[in-house]
């Protein structure tokens, strides 16, 4: 099932390039069997939310106040004094908060910033870049910026979706709780349920377009 430019334009009106995204999303979804209305609606709702309706392909780590950093990473930044050096400094912040996690080295390695989130579902961390690189046959460890190219941004998201078994959760099953399944999908992608209301609104819009 191909996704059309018009479906994207109608359901995700803030997308700046629906004509460009339609073919690369269709190819990525076909490769990973995201090929029913239920699967497509869930996939596009989640990727659309994560990427600001397909406009943002790199994780933003630009914070303007210590208070915001303390709210996002309370354990990392228990005080304004600790948070202050990381305000408006994306590279330093990424290297700190992602150090010794997700296959990254310590803060001095630079891995946190090099392997910060990219793509429609933000692939993050050296180990995830390595797994994605193997699946897509791309040299992402040496050239992580490939994931901001629309083709690979879409493919990496479809690979992630498939690797977490999210087609099964998106499938329409009699007697199943679809909202709970969508919430579990959100947790698999986001680590929590941030933006669930907005994701559901996109899901509903997409379901109407694909009906």
Distance CA 70, CA 118 (A): 23
The pLDDT tens digits for 139-194 are 999 999 999 999 999 999 999 999 999 999 999 654 555 688 899 999 999 888 88
The pLDDT tens digits for 46-81 are 999 999 999 999 999 999 999 999 999 999 999 999
Q: How far apart are the first and last CA of the chain?
A: 13
Q: Is 85 helix (H, G, I), strand (E, B) or coil?
A: helix
The pLDDT tens digits for 104-113 are 999 999 999 9
Q: Which residues lie across from 118 on neighbouring strands? A: 58, 123
pLDDT at 118 exceeding the cut of 60:
yes
Fill in the DSSP letter of residue 35.
-
Whether this model's pTM surpasses 0.75: yes
The token pair that represents 73 in the structure block = 């990473």
pLDDT confidence band for 84 (50 / 70 / 90): very high
Is residue 120 within 8 A of residue 50, CB to CB? The reply is yes
């Amino acid at each position: 099932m191909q996704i059309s430019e018009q479906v994207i334009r109608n359901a995700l009106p803030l997308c700046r390039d629906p004509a460009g995204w339609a073919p690369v999303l269709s190819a990525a979804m076909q490769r990973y069997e995201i090929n029913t209305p239920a699967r497509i609606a869930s996939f596009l709702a989640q990727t659309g939310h994560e990427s600001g309706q397909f406009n943002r392909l790199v994780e933003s780590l630009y914070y303007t106040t210590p208070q915001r950093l303390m709210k996002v990473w309370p354990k990392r930044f228990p005080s304004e004094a600790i948070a202050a050096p990381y305000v408006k400094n994306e590279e330093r912040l990424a290297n700190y908060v992602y150090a010794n996690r997700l296959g990254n080295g310590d803060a001095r390695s630079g891995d946190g910033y090099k392997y910060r989130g990219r793509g429609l579902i933000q692939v993050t961390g050296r180990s995830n870049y390595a797994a994605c690189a193997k699946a897509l046959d791309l040299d992402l460890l040496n050239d992580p910026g490939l994931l901001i190219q629309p083709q690979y941004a879409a493919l990496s998201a479809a690979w992630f979706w498939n690797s977490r078994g999210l087609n099964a959760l998106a499938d329409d099953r009699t007697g199943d709780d679809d909202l709970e399944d969508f919430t579990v999908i959100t947790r698999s992608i986001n680590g929590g349920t941030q933006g669930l209301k907005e994701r559901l609104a996109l899901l509903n819009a997409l379901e109407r377009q694909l009906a």
